[in-house]
Structure 1
Amino acid sequence: MGAMKLSYTSPAAGWAQGLPIGNGRLGAVIQGGIQSETWSLTEITYWSGKPEEPKGDPAASRLALERMRERFFAEDYEAGERLARETLEPEKGNFGTHLTLCDLVLRFHYKGQEESIGPIKRELDLEEAVVSHAYECAGVRYERNAFATHAADIMVSRLAADQPSALSFTLELVGRTSSFETELTKEGAIRFIGRAVETIHSDGSCGVHARGLVKVELQGGEIGIDGDKLLIIGADEAILYIGVTTDYRKESGSWERQCDEQVEQAIGKGFDRLKSEHVADYRKLYERVQLDVGDSGHSALPLDERIHLLRKGIGKDPQLYALFYQYGRYLTIAGSREDSPLPMNLQGLWNDGEANRMAWSCDYHLDVNTEMNYYPTEAANLAECHVPLMRFVQRLSEYGRAAAKAFYGCDGWVAHVFTNAWGFASPGWGLNWGMNVTGGLWIAAQLKQHYEYSLDRRFLEETAYPVLKDAALFFLDYMTIHPTYGWLVSGPSNSPENSFYPSGGAEGGEYALSMGATMDQMLVRELFHFCMDASTTLGVDTELRDRLANALSLLPPLKIGAGGQLQEWLEDYGEAQPEHRHMSHLYGLYPGDQITPLRTPELSEAARITLLNRMAREGLEDVEFTLAQFAASFARLKDGENAFKQLNYLIGQLCFDNLLTYSKPGIAGAETNIFVADGNFGGTAAIGEMLMQSHAGFIELLPALPAAWNGGRVSGLRAKGGAEVDIAWQEGRLTEAAIRPKHAGRVAVRYGGKTVSFELEAARVYRLDGRLDLVSE
């Protein structure tokens, strides 16, 4: 079957078995196999809705904020939440959602010999980013190959038979929105125009316009029109060229001609050259990291069978975890390239149509989901794929200034629980999730991470520091002194998306809003430290630096509750939903660095107790991102066995047959299994954390290696500071490592309780043995 391939011996019965392709803007999930093939087509900017400014009176908002805080400080949560509903829940306007563009449907004709069709080989090759199908019928071998090329910015498919005139099929486009029209030509083209409209998250009248072209080029045979379908008869080979453009953020009409130009240029190159350029462009990113954790022989089985065996606990399949890791890297490359107009949303680049019709929408969730999409990017050596999120956050900060004024009367910028393609920054429409005042800061923390891995001074000066400085100005203006403790606290806000009992028990009611939630304080502390360090590096804003230092001295400490757990709120409230899927207050453990076993052993143990308590709850909401968070958190606690256990559950229980992760019915109102991309990316990040960590001031090798990965090697992992790291191990012990620094300087390397330091020069290779002794330079 091939080591780094998703391979199957049966057709894809639906979306959950289909195989995804993408070029950072255009995407498809390819389903079917023998009788038919359906491409569920997406374009990253195909959003309903429109930009809408937040409305409010800054002076009145500031007064309302003070009144709310008086109630919360007086422990009158009922009155405080009533005031919050009156002033912090704006009317839901045309927020919108990401939508599926259309379905491309192929139906094949075999002249009445379908009964002689042999088994199919269907696969996604992660090393080439190509989906292929191969099978035989009546002695004829049929092959299809498809890919989305970033180099040419289109999608391409070649359909071929090894005997003349054996290929016949129909081709049609089926719109997925009410505004969709097609036009067919006898030259083998289908043009379409569409608009991203729907009536759940907007009023049905606003959204992005799209134009597309599907062009068929034949060898042999002929093309006809059958109603709304192209009819291909008796061909030797057919090549489909698919182009799509939209008017998102376009001020001129040139976008309307763009896809025609792209398709014509692609036709001029031909399939073989397009594929060669596609593979070369893709491999520049993909080949940076190689991972081998052993192979029990299961890699020769179809992937759906392997997942079934894992689910049943039958046999060992270590290679499946390496495949899952590289699949996450593949999805990152396919879903987010340096020039992508938007970053990946809740479903990455793809869309099964289910989240669109949910109350929570296929948007940018800022209380872990969008962040988790990009958690593995830097360490997995895909920094370029992080860039679309950097631009997105920069634009969000601009929109967020209006929200800061309208809702709080504050300087700087703010965004809350979610946002969209239009820069939405207002609170949401529910207290226990919509009032997440640090949602924008959480996603903006990705700028800090991008800088820490690259040490790119220009990026720091032009992007990271200006955006985070303005976030700091908001919190300096927004936060207030707690009248009892004298601490500087945020609020009213929530701990996404949880609630609590103020009395510690069910008496007295259940509430969501309070002052000084732990998650807020972790993010603000990280923000203030970063801005102080950045201003020193850049030699600017000394007065602001002093303000930040003073504010840091007033932030509350992280606290341990009576049960030994890390407190989720400033007070040791009772958990109203102890089985809840969100664990935002563990941010300081992962992906942050405020809690580490070496520096803060007591807090680390409190974090462990928090994890174990949550896992032990009957009715735990075992959604994809929760399992990924569990795995990464245990990796940070150096607990490889528990991290592996969570990955085992994630892959075995929360993955479709195509290895995409999902949320189960009943979770946040879900009516069916709904694909959510963050589990794939979070699981990938967790595997990386098990093999190498660099957040605590040193590079730690194999910090959470499970027994199931007894021997193996990994190359090309990226540490903070830009160094690339190779690691090999046998019988669970390090045998060798290599460090390839990008920048000169001193580095500390840790393994098995031992730490050594080296002075490194850029662009050299430093090799270490299993005892961390330097063996060559």
Structure 2
Amino acid sequence: MDDFKLWYSTPAVNWNQGLPLGNGRMGTVVMAAPHREVWSMSEVTYWSGQVDPEPALAGGKRALEEMRRHFYSGNYDEGDRLAKQYLQPDKQNFGTNLGLCKVIIQFAEQSPDRTLEGSFRRELDLNLALAKAAWRNKDTTVYREVFASHADDLVVSRVWSDRSGGVSFSLSLEGETGSFHSTTMDDCTLKFEGQATENVHSNGNCGVSAEGYVKVVVAGGTVTGRDGRLTVHGADEAAIYFAVSTDYRKTGPEWKQESRVILDRALGKGYSSLRTDHIEDYAEQYNKVDIQLGTVSKSDLTTDQRIRSLAGGGDDDPQLFALFLQYGRYLTIAGSRANSPLPLHLQGIWNDGEACRMGWSCDYHLDINTQMNYYPAEITNLGDSHLPLMRYVEDLAAAGKSTARNLYGSGGWVAHVFSNVWGFTLPGWDTSWGLNVTGGLWLATHLMEHYEYSQDRAFLESTAYPVLQEAAAFYLDYMDIHPEYGWLVTGPSNSPENHFYPGTAGGTVHQLSMGTTLDQILVRELFEFCLKSIELLERDQEFGEQLREAVDMLPPLQIGKKGQLQEWLEDYVEAQPEHRHLSHLFALYPGHQITPERTPELSAAARVTMQNRMLQEELEDVEFTAALFGLGFARLHDGEMAYKHVSHLISGLCFENLFTYSKSGIAGAETNIFVIDGNFGGTAVIAEMLLQSYPGEIHLLPALPQAWSKGKVTGLRAKGNAEVDAVWEDGELTSATIRTFASGTYTLFRGERKTTFHAEAGGSYTFNRELDLIDQ
């Protein structure tokens, strides 16, 4: 038995049952059935849309002052009207990521032996990043395996049989857009071309172009090509190679040769070497973490059976949670590598076509979704996978300078509720949800996270600080002193996608106000990080003085009349108490302005906020909300509540392939729609239940539930550039080892016990259940 396989005894009849592969750029979802296999191919740069000129919304500071005056005086209607006039752009060619094509493999029909049970099996092996399938009829078994190679930048498959000449199939391509077409190059090669065009998010004419090849190589038998189809007959085995390149950010025709070069190089190596190099390259990242939760394994049950068992109330499958964590790490590696051209989007690097055809767009939402995609990257020891997001934020900061200047008359940079691959930084095209003035800053906090985990001074000096300093320059220029409170506030802006009544319930619903809690939390994080960086880098002292004065003027976190953490500067009545977003809990996670040890009153208020949401019969129960509940309760050291919510995520908000989804009818979703942030958010929940860290602090097993009373984990990361192993029995820590890659002083916590030790770079420190140092 293998605890880290997703496996099934039934065919994948649709996309939500298929198994994902990826190499950080290309993705595929493999839908395997006995006589048919379909690969849903995607490529992360295959976007519709284009760079559009920024529209002239040149109100600047004068317009800001006018609308702020109305918000301060309580005239929200007029403030809203002016915000729409000056801060609401028209929709242009924003675009969306699109699916590329389907590879359709039709195997020769043979009469199966109906007396044989379990004659079909398909699986995804997380240890090797291989999708496999096997089908047996009365005298032959046909085996298939597929992988997406990061090492060689293509998707590769092998089909073989235990009987000579037992492999026969046809292969064809089906485009996902009207502009796609394929041609037969020779008896074993198809060439395809396409352009990412659609009419919902752009004008139907603009988008990235792609070109690639599919080649089949056989041993024994024959392969012939005709009318866009390759046919294999009577082979002992066949290898399939799929390569694609796009013209994203490329000039000149040279890009068209890239996929041919990739294919020729792969053919020169051959299947066996490609497979070996793929596994070695993947394992370098995947093997950094191991996890065992409990002693009982149910890996003899199919994955869909295990999900249903958990949904039925079974809590005797702790390794399902370990599988979910490793699946999240697998998806991170598959979707985001150090050299990926773009970060993970709404569906990672995969694409089922659902978000493309409706108002959502398969894009980079900056008010939780893109951020949550990277919540587990650092703690689960995949910091290199974080790097594509770092580069994306750099590009966003460069693009956002014109928006800061044109919209607000300010220096620095700003981005709002969402972005694309064309440098979009304007507000969304309705201020009710589009005027999130700290969306770009929220994304940029990942620069802080990457530095705090890595302690990479070169990264801080060359990337993190320059981007964040420019962001801080914007807010210093843009923010305003509240005439009543004397606080320095943002606005007008919204608390992501939420609504309130300025007065009593039942009045006019509004979204915009001054000084939303999320804005203030993020600005405080920004200013304080910049101050620490200024001290460490010994630069920009005058700018530092401005930041210190500003920090002293920021509003405090406030507790409302219901005992909740206020979501807005004023204690407004919630118009949607069932709302899916919990943005103001950033202070609890991933931030640390609220902790049970340091801020017990605010911690209690954060708990009330979550409880109030949970009590709503009409709670907008979606994947990222379940993850946020789990993360919040984990940070409050409430293991049972964290376990409840991650259990619900896995058993109630996952398809059979363990992809998480957003429920139909919520936020305009037309069906239960795959959104990958729940996979990553849930992975982060499980990791945070086992380890939490702040600068100089490491908390062991801070939210351990009874269901995981015995276990061990190796290789989780702590802030300060350290790795942590922990072993526990009967709910109690038995030993922990801290490996430190930078010198410093750490305080280690386990429940009420704590110890402080000084670590050297390259040191290894082992502690017993009492946190006594027993080995170094």
Shorter-chain TM-score: which interval? over 0.9
Q: Do the aligned residues in 2 keep the contact of 1:593 with 1:696 (CA within 8 Å)?
A: no
Spell out, residue by residue over 1:565-604, the C-alpha distance to the aligned partner (whole angstroms, 9 max, x if none). Answer: 0000000000000000001010000010100011111000
**SS of aligned partner of 1:667:** coil
User: For residue 406 of structure 2, what is the amino acid of its counterpart?
Assistant: A
Letter in 1 for 2:464: A
Give CA deviations for 1:446-482 in whole Å, capped at 9, x if unaligned: 0000000111111001100000000001100110000
| Aligned match of 1:719 | 718
- Paired with 1:740 and 1:439, the residues of 2 have a C-alpha distance of 35
Q: How many angstroms does 1:135 deviate by? A: 2.0
Q: Deviation of residue 755 (structure 1)? A: 1.6
- In 2, Cα distance between the equivalents of 1:68 and 1:219? 73
What residue in structure 2 maps to residue 180 of structure 1?
A: 180
SS of 1:668's equivalent in the other structure is coil
Identity %: 53
The normalised TM-score by structure 1 is: 0.99
CA contact under 8 A between 1:596 and 1:696: conserved in structure 2?
no
Question: In structure 1, how many angstroms separate the alpha carbons of the residues matched to 2:766 and 2:504?
Answer: 54
Q: CA deviation at 1:505?
A: 1.7
Matching of residue 356 in structure 1 with residue 356 in structure 2: yes
Given residue 162 of structure 2, which amino acid in structure 1 is its aligned partner? D
- Do the aligned residues in 1 keep the contact of 2:646 with 2:682 (CA within 8 Å)? yes
Going from structure 1 to structure 2, the CA distance change for 1:697 and 1:185 (only over 3 Å counts) comes to same
Structure 1 position 692 matched with structure 2 position 691:
yes
Give the partner amino acid of 1:125. D
Displacement of 1:56 in angstroms is: 2.5
- Aligned partner of residue 350 in structure 2, secondary structure: coil
Q: Which amino acid aligns with 1:472?
A: A
Q: How far apart in 2 are the matches of 1:696 and 1:257?
A: 48
Q: Is the 8 A contact 2:696 2:745 kept in 1?
A: no
Distance, in Å, in 2 between the alignment partners of 1:776 and 1:166 is 58
Matched, 1:255 2:255: yes
Query: TM-score of the superposition, structure 2-length normalised?
Result: 0.99
Give the SS at the match of 2:97. Answer: coil
> Could you tell me which amino acid in structure 1 is paired with residue 729 of structure 2?
Q
Three-state SS of the structure 1 residue aligned to 2:618 is: coil
Letter of the structure 2 residue corresponding to residue 628 of structure 1: A
- What's the offset of the Cα at 1:116? 7.5
- Secondary structure at the aligned position of 1:390 is classed as helix
Shift of 1:253: 2.0
Q: Do the aligned residues in 1 keep the contact of 2:104 with 2:173 (CA within 8 Å)?
A: yes
CA distance in 2, matches of 1:755, 1:252: 61
Amino acid at match of 2:598: R
Alignment check: 8 A CA contact 1:48 1:208 kept: yes
Q: 1:545-556 to 2 correspondence within 5 Å?
A: 545-556=544-555
| Unmatched runs of 5 consecutive residues or more in structure 2 | none
Aligned-pair distance for 1:489? 0.3
Matches within 5 A, 1:185-224: 185-224=185-224
Give 1:477's aligned residue.
Answer: 477
- Cα distance in structure 1, aligned partners of 2:647 and 2:666: 21
Q: Distance in 2 between matches of 1:61 and 1:763?
A: 53
Letter in 2 for 1:380: T
Deviates more, 1:696-705 or 1:627-636: 696-705
Code of the residue aligned with 1:705 in structure 2: it is: L
Q: How many Å apart are 1:225 and its aligned residue?
A: 3.2
Amino acid of the structure 1 residue aligned with 2:444: A
Paired position in structure 2 for 1:754: 753
Shift of 1:759: 1.1
Structure 1, unpaired ranges of 5+: none
Q: Please say if residues 193 and 209 of structure 1, whose CA atoms lie closer than 8 Å, have aligned partners that are also in contact.
A: yes
SS at 2:678 equivalent: helix
Which whole-Å deviations, capped at 9, do the CAs of 1:158-201 have from their partners, x for residues lacking one?
00111111111110000000111111133311110000000000
**Which stretch of structure 1 is more off in the superposition, 651-660 or 181-190?**
181-190
In structure 2, how many angstroms separate the alpha carbons of the residues matched to 1:345 and 1:80? Answer: 33
CA separation in 1, counterparts of 2:339 and 2:720?
24
Cα pair 2:126 2:330 within 8 Å, conserved: yes
Q: How far off its partner does 1:117 sit?
A: 7.4
CA contact (8 A) 1:210 1:247 kept: yes
The equivalent residue for 1:559 is 558
- What are the Cα deviations for residues 700-744 of structure 1, in whole angstroms up to 9, with x where unaligned? 000000000010000001000110000000000000000100011
Matches within 5 A, 1:250-649: 250-314=250-314, 316-507=316-507, 509-649=508-648
Stretch deviating more after TM superposition (716-725 or 290-299): 290-299
Counterpart of 1:100 in 2: which secondary structure?
strand
Number of the residue aligned with 1:5: 5
SS at match of 1:329: helix
Please give the per-residue CA displacement for 1:390-448, whole angstroms capped at 9, x wherever unaligned. 00000000000011111111110000000001110000012221000000000000000
CA contact (8 A) 2:57 2:86 kept: no
Whether the aligned pair in 1 keeps the contact of 2:452 and 2:695 (CA below 8 Å) is: no
User: Is contact 1:46–1:196 with CA below 8 Å preserved after alignment?
Assistant: yes
In structure 2, how many angstroms separate the alpha carbons of the residues matched to 1:695 and 1:432? 35
Question: Is the 1:53–1:402 Cα contact (8 Å) retained in structure 2?
Answer: no
Instruction: Give the secondary structure class of the aligned counterpart of 2:53.
Output: coil
Task: Report whether the alignment pairs 1:26 with 2:22.
Answer: no
- Which stretch of the first structure deviates more once superposed, 25-34 or 320-329? 25-34
Distance 1:749 1:315, change over 3 A: closer
Cα shift at 1:89: 1.0
Task: Tell me the CA shift for residue 138 of structure 1.
Answer: 2.6
- 2:659 matched residue in structure 1: 660
Change (3 A) 1:224 1:554: same
The CA deviation at 1:94 is: 0.2
Aligned residues: 775
Q: CA deviation at 1:680?
A: 0.2
Question: Residue 504 of structure 1: CA displacement?
Answer: 3.5
Other-structure match for 1:42: 42
Q: Alpha-carbon deviation of 1:267?
A: 1.0
Structure-1 separation of matches of 2:379 and 2:252: 39
Match of 1:672 in 2: 671
5 Å matches for 1:234-253? 234-253=234-253
d(CA) in 2 for partners of 1:623, 1:386: 25
CA distance in 1, matches of 2:589, 2:534: 25
Question: CA offsets, 1:308-367, max 9 Å, x none?
Answer: 111111452100000000000000000000000000000001011101112121000000
User: What is the rounded CA distance, in whole Å, between the counterparts of 1:696 and 1:600 in structure 2?
Assistant: 17
Shift of 1:111: 4.4
Q: Deviations over 1:87-118 (max 9, x none)?
A: 11111000000000000000111345586776
SS in 2 for 1:561: coil
Superposition deviation, residue 85 in structure 1? 1.0
Which whole-Å CA distance do the structure 2 matches of 1:104 and 1:315 have between them? 39
On the 8 A contact 2:183/2:227 being kept in 1, the answer is no
Range 296-305 or range 335-344, more displaced: 296-305
1:615 deviation in Å? 0.6
User: Post-superposition shift, 1:251?
Assistant: 2.0
Judge which range, 303-312 or 322-331, deviates more.
Answer: 303-312
User: 1:328, 1:681 within 8 Å by CA — same for their partners in 2?
Assistant: yes
> What is the SS of the residue equivalent to 1:170?
strand
In 2, the alpha carbon distance for the partners of 1:755 and 1:706 equals 20
Who is 2:681 aligned against?
682
Matched residue of 1:594: which SS? coil
CA distance in 1, matches of 2:112, 2:303: 29
State the distance in 1 between where 2:769 and 2:111 align: 64
Helix, strand or coil for the counterpart of 1:593? coil
The Cα of 1:298 is off from its aligned counterpart by 1.8
Residue in 1 aligned with 2:770? 771
Q: Is the 8 A contact 1:504 1:572 kept in 2?
A: no
For the Cα contact (< 8 Å) 2:187–2:226, is it kept in 1? Answer: no
- Looking at structure 1, the residues matched to 5 and 712 of structure 2 have their Cα atoms a distance apart, in angstroms, of 19
